[in-house]
Structure 1
């Protein structure tokens, strides 16, 4: 068995679960690399990453480089004397960093590579209506998410599953896969597979323009788009109500397939229900957040807010 000294690189909660699993199973964590503290909130107080908070609670050495290519950072990294690096939800590494340890640097990616390479694989799998996804460990090379695959683990996606629910499922699946991968490396028993050359589905970064709801699409497509962005960053639309345009973020929804003569985006309300017409039925809104208001269930919103007969989602 190889005596492994691991440097872990990551930033969000997703990465914390993987790091915690390694610590709990008594692997030697030589150091943790995470994002620099950033100002947040009204007071612009410096906010530590989730990984940094956990690392400090475990008395693990932490490095927070602004520039991964800087000589100072790379000298500090070398001083940690690691022979394996693990990357989970971090940023692209220069070759001088990923090629540093004796046993390489591997990444955990939340998809079944080569499908959904990129920044938002969990969101896009749901937004595209996939019925399965998974997690992959692979050795990093000089491109994004293209290195040789070590292990994969597949899971189904429920028809009503949100990105928040799938995120948590893949987080725990990923923690186990990382442990399996480390164990193989410790035994010197890793067999890798070159990624197949497929016309892969991309998981490009989410921006406001690709989170906006297109009301001309089918009910299923809109439903998938919304659950693939619930709870973060949330699908949104502009609503024209009494000639006032407001922005609304839409969270929990249901489907009603029904023929009708309404225009796409037409808003229909009763005292307790809110639904929006699309070409093959209605999208029933269960939770919504209008700009300037808090997130509410539709019944609570309709108690104090009125949509006109001409209200429409654009």
Structure 2
């Protein structure tokens, strides 16, 4: 069975590597175009492209997925199945091309957390479990019939980075199982059951990442976890941005105004929320590198 794989970040690399290790024929890899990055604006390759090149796989990097030249190239590959992991939305002419269809691996238990940022939003909302789902692509995003799913527990201290790594590993295994089932014709499709309590996972913008200290401490703590390590929750200190990567939560009467700060100037720094403190552990002050709170306090008078 010939497969065209589509993906871009590290999350997708694990799935591509699992398919290669399982012996499937990867006819080509479709990934994002190289982009300028860093101070020197040198072209940066996607994680998927780097893996593909290292393993001798054909790479396609179309600027537009409806480009006639790309469509012709894709058709000429005669793929039986297309596999999508952490890629952009496909036009129907692409996802409807292969005879066995196009499947997607999504980092949630669908229909919960459809959208661009399911990992972040699951933790931000205080969920205790998440998972991965394989499904067939249809016209509307993340709405296709489910093939298989696996649950993953979320620990109280897990960050988005921790959950990302858990789902990446479990998802790669689930994807291989799904592709094997499709190859044998031994699978069942289940329509997604929608109820009133479906939660969504829209793309996250900068304004969403700013901490509102008038919120309960649990809400603030979950926001920090859910945005770490990227795009990162932040507040302001001396009119400069302070990103918070890691913190502990203290539920107690603060005795000070929300957003107020307590520190001994050496070992601890904490901000007051509505009903407790956020005790910072790892942070980045505007213009500085990421550091521990102790390193930060050694160079900052508060």
Q: What is the TM-score normalised by the length of structure 1?
A: 0.94
Q: Match for residue 255 of structure 2?
A: 261
- Count residues with an aligned counterpart: 300
Q: Match for residue 163 of structure 2?
A: 166
Give 4+ residue runs of structure 1 displaced > 2 Å after superposition.
none
SS at match of 1:252: strand
Alignment of 1:1-314 (within 5 A): 4-199=1-196, 200-239=198-237, 241=238, 245-270=239-264, 271-307=266-302
Cα offset, 1:293, TM superposition: 1.1
The CA distance in 2 between the partners of 1:9 and 1:63, in whole Å, is 9
CA RMSD of aligned residues (A): 0.8
The CA distance in 2 between the partners of 1:298 and 1:211, in whole Å, is 20
* Unpaired runs of at least 5, structure 1: 308-314
Cα offset, 1:49, TM superposition: 0.7
The CA distance in 2 between the partners of 1:290 and 1:218, in whole Å, is 24
* Unpaired runs of at least 5, structure 2: none
Q: Is the 8 A contact 1:255 1:282 kept in 2?
A: yes
The CA distance in 2 between the partners of 1:22 and 1:279, in whole Å, is 48
SS at match of 1:205: coil
Cα offset, 1:185, TM superposition: 0.3
Cα offset, 1:294, TM superposition: 1.1
Q: What is the TM-score normalised by the length of structure 2?
A: 0.98
The CA distance in 2 between the partners of 1:35 and 1:247, in whole Å, is 31
The CA distance in 1 between the partners of 2:194 and 2:21, in whole Å, is 37
SS at match of 1:23: helix
SS at match of 2:243: strand
Per-residue deviation, residues 146-187 of structure 1 (Å, max 9, x unmatched): 000000000110000011111000000000110010011011
Q: Is the 8 A contact 1:114 1:198 kept in 2?
A: no
Per-residue deviation, residues 4-60 of structure 1 (Å, max 9, x unmatched): 100000000100010001111111111100001111111111111110111111111
